[in-house]
């Protein structure tokens, strides 16, 4: 079975008859897959939440969209992407509790997985989600950053077995109750941030009909399709958006770097709530924007419960580059 690592263009135009006023400058291409290895984490269980929304006005629809983004920022995934059941006229989300240790699965073994839903992989009786916690191959200064998806490297596993994850699952279950209570207060590890300079954007904006739950579901589906393709709401990014429109941008970034925690504190953002999905800037960058990158090497928490109470900071940039202490050294000139 072919595994879809991106979203085909046709998926982004589903529901177009119900979504009005689209203004798009968007290009979504299938990428090549580097070395083909796949970074996964086993799903040990889920937290679940469901809600319904009022219909009839753009204001209510914006409130509903805000609630969706809140849950997504907390790690919840829509049941439309996971394939879990959901009652009529409700929005349903599940938050997966994942194994502490990611697995880098060899490209030759990836074909043994099935992918019933966009975000979920199955093997035997277990479920897995794609992870960003492995170490990934480095493309250096090559344009492969824009044409290929990086495969994981390091301790590559030739096949998935139940014994491979048995100890992790047991230790996770012992602390699951504590994790649920601690989800709202996440510490920042060493505080270093992996960032990259934004070189361009793909952008899309659209408005939605109001007045029925069916139209609201179509609008929510369109939002989820864009966020699944790497687009971020302008409310999270801090970019401008016309009244009564939903605006999304997909930052196209260059080579990542690991920025020291002390230097990250000097950055500013136009987002109402600073987060990993915000755009950051500095007076020393001459207008360049910074966005989160996955290129760095991150600190390891081993089998500690810190996986669930802290966010990993980077320790080195790609290619073992040292931590950057002066963000102005990353100044670039973006072609107009």
Mean pLDDT by 10 residues, the chain (336 residues): 39 36 39 80 86 75 81 84 82 84 89 79 87 83 74 86 47 32 52 89 83 76 83 84 86 90 88 75 83 87 64 87 88 44
The pLDDT assigned to 323 comes to 93
Extents of the domains making up the chain: 30-182, 193-330
Residue 27 to residues 24, 201, 202, 213, 250: CA-CA distances in angstroms? Answer: 9, 10, 7, 29, 10
Measuring CA to CA, which residue among 133, 103, 136, 122 is closest to residue 35? 136
pLDDT at 331: 64
The rounded distance, in Å, linking the Cα atoms of 251 and 124 is 37
CA–CA distance from 109 to each of 36, 155, 241 (Å)? 10, 14, 44
> Could you give the CA distance from residue 219 to residue 209 in angstroms, rounded to a whole number?
8
- Altogether, the residues listed in the chain come to a count of 336
Q: Is the dihedral of CA 119, 123, 125, 129 positive or negative?
A: negative
Confidence at residue 16, expressed as pLDDT on a 0 to 100 scale: 34
């Amino acid at each position: 079975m072919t595994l879809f690592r991106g979203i085909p263009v046709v998926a982004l135009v589903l529901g177009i008859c119900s979504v009005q006023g689209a203004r798009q400058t968007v290009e979504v291409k299938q990428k090549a897959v580097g070395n083909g290895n796949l970074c996964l984490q086993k799903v040990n269980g889920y937290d679940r939440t469901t809600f319904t929304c009022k219909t009839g006005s753009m204001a209510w629809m914006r409130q509903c969209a805000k609630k969706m983004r809140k849950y997504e920022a907390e790690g919840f995934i829509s049941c439309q992407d996971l394939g879990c059941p959901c009652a009529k006229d409700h929005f349903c989300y599940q938050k997966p509790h994942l194994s502490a240790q990611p697995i880098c699965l060899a490209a030759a073994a990836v074909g043994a997985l099935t992918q019933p839903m966009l975000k979920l992989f199955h093997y035997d009786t277990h479920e897995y989600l794609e992870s960003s916690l492995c170490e990934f191959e480095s493309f250096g200064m090559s344009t492969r950053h824009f044409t290929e998806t990086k495969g994981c490297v390091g301790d590559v596993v030739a096949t998935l077995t139940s014994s491979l994850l048995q100890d992790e699952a047991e230790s996770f279950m012992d602390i699951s109750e504590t994790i649920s209570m601690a989800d709202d207060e996440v510490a920042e590890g060493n505080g270093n941030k992996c960032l990259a300079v934004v070189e361009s954007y793909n952008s899309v904006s659209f408005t939605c009909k109001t007045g029925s739950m069916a139209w609201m579901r179509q609008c929510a589906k369109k939002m989820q399709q864009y966020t699944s393709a790497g687009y971020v709401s302008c409310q999270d990014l801090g970019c401008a958006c016309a009244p009564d429109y939903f605006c999304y941008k997909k930052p196209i970034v260059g080579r990542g770097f690991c920025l020291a925690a002390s230097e990250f504190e000097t950055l500013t953002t136009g987002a109402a709530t600073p987060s990993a999905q915000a755009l950051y800037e500095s007076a020393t960058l001459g207008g360049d924007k910074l966005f989160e990158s996955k290129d760095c090497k991150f600190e390891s928490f081993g089998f500690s419960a810190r996986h669930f109470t802290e966010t990993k900071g980077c320790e080195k940039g790609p290619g073992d580059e040292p931590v950057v202490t002066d963000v102005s050294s990353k100044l670039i000139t973006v072609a107009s």
